Structure 1
Amino acid sequence: MSYEMIALMMFSSLVMLLLTGQRFFGAVGCVAAAASMLLWGDGGAEMPFNAAIVLLNWYPLLTLPLFIFMGYILSESGIASDLYKMFHVFMGPIPGGLALGTIILMVAISAMNGLSVAGMAIGSSIALPEMLKRGYDKRMVSGVIQAGSSLGIMIPPSIVLVLYGMIARQPVGQLWLAGVFPGLLLATLFALYIIIRCKLQPQMGPALSAEDRQMPRKEKLKLLGAGVMPLFIIFSVTGLFMMGVTNLVESSAVGAAAAMIAAGAKRRLSRKVMMSSLYSTLGVSCMFMWIIMAALSFGAVFDGLGAVNAIKSVFLEQWGLSPWGVLIMMQISYIIMGMFLDDTAMLVIVAPLYIPLIIQLGFNPVWYGVLYTITCQIAYMTPPFGYNLFLMKAMAPPQITLVDIYASIVPFVIVMATGLGLIMAFPEIATFLPDLFYAK
Structure 2
Amino acid sequence: MFSDIGIGYATILIFGSMIVFLVLGMPLGFLTGFIAVAAAYLWFGDTNVLSMVGGRIVDFTTSYAFVAVPMYVLMASLLDKTGIAKDLYNAMRIVGGRLPGGVALQSMLVAVVLAAMSGIIGGETVLLGMVALPQMLRLGYNQNLAIGTCVAGGALGTMVPPSIVLIVYGLSANVSVGDLFLAAVPPALLLAGLYMTYILVLCWWKPSYGPPMKSEELAQLTRADYIRIARDIAIPGMLVLWVLGSIYGGIASVTESACVGVAAVLLAAAYRRELSIGIVYDTLKHTMRTVGMIIWVGIGATMIIGVYNLMGGDKFVQQLIIGQDVQPVVVILIMMGILLILGCFLDWIGIALLCMPIFVPIVVKLGYDPIWFGVLFCINMQVAFLTPPFGSAAFYLKSVAPPGIELTHIFRAVWPFIFIQLTVLAILVAFPDVALFVLK
Is the TM value for this pair above 0.5? yes
Distance 2:277 2:224 in 1: 32
Report matched runs for 1:287-366 at 5 Å: 287-318=293-324, 320-366=325-371
Q: Which residue pairs with 1:207 in the alignment?
A: 212
Q: CA deviation at 1:408?
A: 0.8
Does the aligned pair in 1 maintain the 2:148–2:417 contact within 8 Å? yes
Q: Which residue pairs with 1:171 in the alignment?
A: 176
Q: CA deviation at 1:316?
A: 4.0
Distance 1:373 1:56, change over 3 A: closer
Does the aligned pair in 1 maintain the 2:92–2:233 contact within 8 Å? no
Aligned residues: 434
Q: Which residue pairs with 1:231 in the alignment?
A: 237
Distance 1:152 1:116 in 2: 5
Q: CA deviation at 1:255?
A: 0.6
Does the aligned pair in 2 maintain the 1:303–1:352 contact within 8 Å? no
1:390 aligns with 2:390: no
Does the aligned pair in 2 maintain the 1:241–1:251 contact within 8 Å? yes
The residue type paired with residue 236 of structure 1 is W
The residue type paired with residue 19 of structure 1 is V
Report matched runs for 1:281-292 at 5 Å: 281-292=287-298
Distance 2:247 2:354 in 1: 31
Which residue of 22, 38, 42 maps to 2:42? Answer: 38
Distance 2:60 2:406 in 1: 43
Distance 2:364 2:43 in 1: 27
Q: Which ranges in structure 1 are unaligned for 5 or more consecutive residues?
A: none
1:126 aligns with 2:127: no
Distance 1:308 1:323 in 2: 18
Does the aligned pair in 2 maintain the 1:302–1:352 contact within 8 Å? no
Distance 2:117 2:52 in 1: 37
Q: Which residue pairs with 2:383 in the alignment?
A: 378
Does the aligned pair in 2 maintain the 1:316–1:322 contact within 8 Å? no
Which residue of 193, 198, 221 maps to 2:227? Answer: 221
Give the TM-score, by structure 2 length.
Answer: 0.95
Distance 1:42 1:342, change over 3 A: closer
Does the aligned pair in 1 maintain the 2:301–2:353 contact within 8 Å? yes
| C-alpha RMSD over aligned residues | 1.5
Give the TM-score, by structure 1 length.
Answer: 0.95
Query: Once the two structures are superposed, what CA deviation does each residue of 1:236-274 show, in whole Å capped at 9, x if it has no partner?
Result: 211111110001211111011111111111111111111
Q: Which residue pairs with 1:242 in the alignment?
A: 248
Q: CA deviation at 1:382?
A: 1.2
Which residue of 248, 258, 265 maps to 1:259? Answer: 265
Distance 1:55 1:308, change over 3 A: closer
Q: Which residue pairs with 1:408 in the alignment?
A: 413
Equivalent position SS for 1:395: coil
1:417 aligns with 2:416: no
Distance 1:90 1:17, change over 3 A: same
Distance 1:111 1:39, change over 3 A: same
The residue type paired with residue 302 of structure 1 is Y
The residue type paired with residue 223 of structure 2 is R
Question: Share of identical aligned residues, percent?
Answer: 32
Q: Which ranges in structure 2 are unaligned for 5 or more consecutive residues?
A: none
- Structure 1 stretch 272-281 or stretch 288-297: which is displaced more? 288-297
- Structure 1 stretch 298-307 or stretch 176-185: which is displaced more? 298-307
1:18 aligns with 2:22: yes
Distance 2:277 2:38 in 1: 45
The residue type paired with residue 275 of structure 2 is L
Distance 1:125 1:294 in 2: 34
Query: Once the two structures are superposed, what CA deviation does each residue of 1:198-248 show, in whole Å capped at 9, x if it has no partner?
Result: 000011110111012121233213311111111221122111111100012
Equivalent position SS for 2:317: helix
Q: CA deviation at 1:48?
A: 4.0
Query: Once the two structures are superposed, what CA deviation does each residue of 1:119-148 show, in whole Å capped at 9, x if it has no partner?
Result: 101101111111111111111110000110
Query: Once the two structures are superposed, what CA deviation does each residue of 1:137-166 show, in whole Å capped at 9, x if it has no partner?
Result: 111110000110110011111011111111
Equivalent position SS for 1:136: coil
Q: CA deviation at 1:13?
A: 1.9
The residue type paired with residue 304 of structure 2 is F
Distance 2:252 2:49 in 1: 40
Distance 1:5 1:361 in 2: 26
Query: Once the two structures are superposed, what CA deviation does each residue of 1:68-117 show, in whole Å capped at 9, x if it has no partner?
Result: 00000000000011111221111111000000010011001000110111
Does the aligned pair in 1 maintain the 2:50–2:307 contact within 8 Å? no
The residue type paired with residue 435 of structure 2 is A
Query: Once the two structures are superposed, what CA deviation does each residue of 1:33-57 show, in whole Å capped at 9, x if it has no partner?
Result: 3322333335313134223322343
1:145 aligns with 2:129: no
Q: CA deviation at 1:346?
A: 1.8
The residue type paired with residue 7 of structure 2 is Y
Q: Which residue pairs with 1:84 in the alignment?
A: 89
Query: Once the two structures are superposed, what CA deviation does each residue of 1:145-201 show, in whole Å capped at 9, x if it has no partner?
Result: 011011001111101111111112111111111111111111100000000000000
